[in-house]
Amino acid sequence: MSKRMTGNTFRRGKPSANKGTHPEQLQGKNHPMYGKKHSLEARKKMSLAHMGKHPTNEFKKGHVSWCKGLHVNLNPLGGFKKGHPAPATAFKKGVYAGDKHWNWKGGITSENHKLRTSAEYKLWRNAVYERDNYTCIWCGNRGCRLEADHIKPWCDYPALRFAIDNGRTLCKECHKKTDNYGKKLCQK
């Protein structure tokens, strides 16, 4: 009974009613208003058409709220299990800090990690960058990935870790060429 589908036709041979009106086809340069502006007259008509229409939180007669019949808990302190603190008091700073937190593993952060993420290390690194004018001292590159390198290794000279004279600015490529890049020297 049905005809073979060809081109923009459906089963009974009728052309598609919405041909050329799909949102994908009306975007950008394909849209009939692309590059054009509404005339002053058209803008006034649109403005008058919207006069007196304000979005409200009220429903028109016959409209039903999306949550009608649902039991929605609007209590900000509700929704938690019995015995657990309410959100207003539960996550205040320090309540679950350190050994009071349920995921505490006994202070396993390494001393090296603590030092390399400290404010003192960040100040040292920025001071080295400033001194070298944010330029690699070997190849002269600017605007690339810069790294602050310790001239005397971090692991062998703990007293010189934050000495600005023991630092130099190198790009990533030049830093890889040094003898003390990464953990090469510390692993010996």
pTM: 0.47
Task: State how far the Cα of 29 lies from the Cα of 35, in Å rounded to an integer.
Answer: 8
Q: Are 42 and 49 in contact (CB under 8 A)?
A: no
Answer yes or no: is 106 within a domain.
no
Answer yes or no: is 78 within a domain.
no
pLDDT in tens, the chain (188 residues): 444 545 544 455 555 555 555 666 778 888 888 888 999 999 999 888 888 777 666 666 777 776 666 655 555 545 555 555 555 555 566 777 888 888 888 888 888 899 999 999 999 999 999 999 999 999 999 989 999 999 999 888 999 999 999 999 999 999 999 988 876 655 55
Answer yes or no: is 44 within a domain.
no
DSSP E strands in the chain: the ranges are 146-150, 167-171
Q: Which domain holds residue 153?
A: 113-176
Our count of domains for the chain comes to 1
Distance of CA 185 to the CA centre of its chain: 37
Answer yes or no: is 123 within a domain.
yes
Q: Six-digit token pair at 187? A: 């692993």
Answer yes or no: is 76 within a domain.
no
